[in-house]
């Protein structure tokens, strides 16, 4: 699943909560509308589900950004129950609700999960609805539902693809904010060439947190993402002006340290280690951490320097 930056994710959460709130209000108005028209058999489900969706909207508003989202599927289940048990296909208002379902689903879920959810709903809908005998209404429903679902899919898929492209162009990992390994290879060539010209040292500090693999197996994805963000932000706080932090693999980072000798990289190593040990969440991870400082040697090529840095881990003192 594509990871969004903290700021974008927070904004998306607030917009989703606002949509939940609008949905709760729309259901309450729908129940009132049917009461005015005397359609008493269509009041129960909108009136019953409106307060539950309102409660889920409040939860979505106040939940922390790194906590698991427990609101999406309950809202979709409630909405599905309404569409399966309430309304008639010859009612234009009811069909409008059906058309809006794929739009809503593709907004609140990633493309793959949204597609599976809609496929399940369609199967259940055809199995349990007994009023699909009118060919004209059925054709109208099929055409419009397919049109809305197709447009929503294309829009959501395009958005995800564009987000991935922007992440690649920016050279930054969307989860941690650190630069990517691809960006490191490009940057390292530039820094090595600059070092040859200026005769200034170039060092690197490679950090591997082996305990993250076990942590990921024992905890939820949200907990893992929260921890990896915390680690990355702590490391970035240790950066000096000109230093750059790269995420090499799922459990490893690398500092690129221009104008830094081997002694300077060792000093940074101790400072990073000190700041990481101050984070109580890392008590079970740090004992298995390795930190390897390295300095570019005379006439050493960029790729050889990177390989040497990554291949010789060293236990912290």
In this prediction, residue 182 carries a pLDDT of 82
Contact of 83 with 24, CB cutoff 8 Å = no
Contact of 24 with 53, CB cutoff 8 Å = yes
In this prediction, residue 65 carries a pLDDT of 67
Percentages of the chain per state (helix, strand, coil), in multiples of 5:
70, 10, 25
Start-to-end Cα distance in the chain: 37
Q: What mean pLDDT is reported for the chain?
A: 84
What are the tens digits of pLDDT across the range 39-90? 777 888 889 999 999 999 999 988 876 667 789 999 999 999 888 887 777 7
Enumerate domains of the chain plus CATH numbers: 6-170 (no CATH), 179-311 (3.30.70.270)
Tell me, yes or no, if the pTM score tops 0.75.
Answer: no
Query: For strand 202-209 and strand 289-295, is the pairing parallel, antiparallel, or unpaired?
Result: antiparallel
What are the tens digits of pLDDT across the range 151-200? 999 998 898 887 777 666 666 777 788 888 888 888 888 999 988 888 88
Run of H or E residues at 114: helix 111-128
Contacts 24+ apart (CB under 8 A), 179-185: 179/244, 179/245, 179/246, 179/247, 180/246, 180/247, 181/246, 181/247, 181/248, 181/249, 183/246, 184/246, 184/248, 184/254, 184/256, 184/306, 185/302, 185/306
φ/ψ of residue 271, rounded to 5: -70, -45
């Amino acid at each position: 699943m594509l990871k969004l930056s903290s700021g974008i994710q927070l904004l998306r959460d607030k917009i989703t909560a606002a949509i939940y709130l609008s949905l709760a209000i729309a259901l309450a108005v729908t129940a009132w509308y049917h009461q005015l028209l005397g359609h008493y058999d269509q009041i129960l489900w909108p009136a019953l589900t409106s307060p539950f969706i309102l409660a889920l909207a409040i939860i979505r508003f106040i939940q922390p950004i790194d906590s698991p989202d427990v609101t999406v599927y309950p809202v979709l289940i409630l909405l599905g129950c309404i569409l399966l048990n309430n309304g008639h296909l010859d009612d234009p208002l009811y069909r409008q609700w059906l058309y809006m379902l794929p739009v809503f689903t593709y907004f609140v879920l990633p493309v793959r999960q949204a597609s599976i959810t809609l496929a399940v709903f369609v199967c259940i809908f055809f199995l349990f609805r007994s009023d699909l005998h009118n060919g004209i209404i059925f054709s109208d429903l099929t055409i419009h539902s397919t049109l809305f679902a197709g447009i929503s899919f294309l829009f959501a898929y395009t958005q995800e693809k564009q987000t991935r492209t922007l992440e690649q162009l920016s050279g930054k990992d969307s989860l941690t904010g650190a630069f990517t390994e691809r960006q490191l290879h490009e940057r390292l060539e530039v820094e090595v060439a600059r070092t040859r010209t200026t005769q200034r040292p170039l060092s690197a500090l490679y950090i591997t947190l082996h305990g993250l693999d076990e942590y990921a197996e024992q905890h939820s994805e949200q907990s893992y993402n929260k921890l990896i963000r915390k680690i990355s932000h702590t490391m970035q706080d240790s950066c000096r002006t000109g230093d750059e932090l790269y995420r090499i693999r799922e459990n490893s980072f690398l500092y690129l340290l221009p104008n830094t000798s081997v002694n300077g990289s060792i000093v940074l190593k101790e400072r990073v280690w000190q700041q990481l040990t101050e984070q109580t969440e890392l008590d079970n991870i740090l004992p298995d951490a390795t930190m390897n400082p390295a300095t570019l040697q005379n006439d050493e090529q960029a790729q050889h320097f990177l390989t040497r840095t990554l291949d010789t881990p060293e236990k912290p003192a």
